[in-house]
Amino acid sequence: MSPKVDPFVQHFRASAPYIHAHRGRTFVIMFGGEAVASKDLRTLLYDVALLHSLGVRIVLVAGARPQIDEALARRGADLRFEGDLRVTDDVALQCVKEAVGATRVELEALLSMGLPNSPMAGARLRVATGNFVMAQPVGVVDGVDYQHTGKPRRVDAEAIRQRLDDGAIVVLTPIGYSATGEAFNISSHDVAAATATALGADKLIGLLEGEGVLDAEGLPPSQLTPDEAEQILRSDRDLGHHVERHLAAAIQACRGGVPRAHLVARQSDGSLLRELFTRDGVGTMVTSETFEGVRAAAPSDIGGILALIEPLEEQGILVRRSQEMLENDFDRFTVIERDGMVVACAALYAYPDDSIAELACLVVHPDYRTSGRGDQLLHYLERQCDAQGLRRLFVLTTQTSHWFRERGFENCEPNELPESRRSAYDHGRRSKILLKPLG
């Protein structure tokens, strides 16, 4: 039996591939003014500081909607929205400047903290803010004059990059400036999407208020393509304004070339770290990339295949295969790769003279079983047999015969195997032989 590993050590080791993968990457992290007002802001910024210390280049985009609403209420001024968009008159612009200014100061103050007994001890973070976002007025739409409400016109990506190169965390707020010297109130989601796109960021991360996008079972779908996300946005489902804006920004950024956008519930402690440092994350990822797929194995998969099959060899479920055997046979393997990890594999050995093939080494990683991956691999290999004109498929198994019988395999005798395989049959192992006619 292998010695017991301390869960802390295990988790820390498991996060190592992500630490390597994230170093030097650029993440744009957007959150609402609710996060700034919350008592959890410190914890969130500790996690941001941690990411920064691991070499992640970070741009924070902070919203200020509740703070602006409060400032307006204090002045007894109207909160005026047309659809999703605030109409920013002179009084509202004043409130925006106040609220955004206060938000920025709050963030800068907390990011400057370095108390010895806090996780920020010794962090000495630099914060950079500035006129990075150029804006233009929304103008008059359907007869409504949006006045000082604007939209991003251009993001000075070069200037932001320079600050990131200097090791600073860049903080952006929902204000942009025009060539005429005016300030405009812009949506923080638009700022985040435009900035992530202009920077060619590796990720846009949205920290959601509430639970976010939930599927029929009440869980966040772990992955959506931009098209699927758009269908959700267009459906009748009421996601709430905040989630809808985050989802729209994620779609916009993905279509603008950002490889992955993540939506994570802010209020769940450590969700940002769990999303970034565990394989399956905790939120929803919007991406056009193939996160999981079936494909032919490559030599670089040999380590992953060995890691998958070794525990089963130790239990006697699979026949032992050396690394050398795998190096010779890797091209017979098909794998399912999930975010860079081999989570399932199977090998196909064809006997064309007898129009038959052996399915061997079918393994799904224990964490990913009972989700149809075994079936998926079997169907994939059956189609390959079909393409190669192989009419029957057999498998030798000691403990999994029922799984195969439920999928159309039937017991058969060694004499039904091709001659060369029959002579190599290990009678001591007493494997059951199961055969399935194809087509």
Q: Which parts of this chain interact with ligand COA (CB under 6 A)?
A: 312, 317, 361-364, 369-375, 395, 397, 399-400, 402-403
Secondary structure (DSSP) of 59-121: EEEE--HHHHHHHHHHTT----EETTEE-B-HHHHHHHHHHHHHHHHHHHHHHT---TTSTTT
In the chain the first and final C-alpha atoms are separated, in Å, by 44
- Measured from the CB atom, is 192 or 364 closer to ligand COA? 364
Q: Is 406 exposed, middle or buried (0-12, 13-18, 19+ CB in 10 A)?
A: exposed
Nearer to ligand COA, 241 or 402 (CB): 402
The smaller minimum CB distance to ligand COA, of residues 56 and 343, is found at 343
Asked if 92 and 86 touch (Cβ cutoff 8 Å), the reply is yes
User: 335: part of which helix (H) or strand (E)?
Assistant: strand 333-338
- Select 264 or 361, whichever has its Cβ closest to ligand COA: 361
Q: How far is the CB of 358 from ligand COA (least distance, A)?
A: 10
C-beta closer to ligand COA: residue 43 or 400: 400
CA distance 58 to 195: 12
Contacts of 370 (CB under 8 A, 6+ apart): none
- Which H or E run contains 18? helix 7-22
CB of 333 to ligand COA, least distance (A): 13
The smaller minimum CB distance to ligand COA, of residues 245 and 373, is found at 373
CA distance 50 to 120: 8
Nearer to ligand COA, 28 or 305 (CB): 305
Tokens of 298: 């490559």
Q: Residue 327 CB, nearest distance to ligand COA (Å)?
A: 20
Residues 70 and 417: their CA atoms lie apart, in Å, by 79
Closest approach of Cβ 384 to ligand COA, in Å? 16
CB of 137 to ligand COA, least distance (A): 55
Sign of the CA dihedral 317, 322, 327, 329? negative
Cβ neighbour number for residue 352 with a 10 Å cutoff: 11
Please give the Cα distance from 105 to 408 (Å, whole number).
67
Dist CA 205 CA 289 (whole Å): 16
Q: Minimum distance from CB of 283 to ligand COA (Å)?
A: 24
Q: How far is the CB of 305 from ligand COA (least distance, A)?
A: 13
Tokens representing residue 274 in the block: 């769990």
| Closest distance to ligand COA from the beta carbon of 432 (Å) | 10
Rounded to whole angstroms, the Cα distance separating 87 from 80 reads: 6
CA atoms of 260 and 252, how far apart (whole Å): 11
Asked if residue 336 lies in contact with residue 373, where contact means CB atoms within 8 angstroms, the answer is yes
Give me the torsion for CA of 73, 75, 80, 86, rounded to 10°. Answer: -90
Question: Minimum CB separation from ligand COA for residue 306, in Å?
Answer: 15
Q: How much is the CA Rg of the chain, to the nearest whole Å?
A: 28
Of 104 and 373, which CB lies nearer to ligand COA in the complex structure? 373
Do residues 254 and 286 make contact, with C-beta atoms less than 8 angstroms apart?
Answer: yes
In the complex with ligand COA, the residue whose CB is nearer, 232 or 308, is 308
Q: Which is nearer to ligand COA, 42 or 321 (CB)?
A: 321
CB of 70 to ligand COA, least distance (A): 52
Q: In whole angstroms, how close is the CB of 318 to ligand COA at the nearest point?
A: 6
Nearer to ligand COA, 208 or 395 (CB): 395
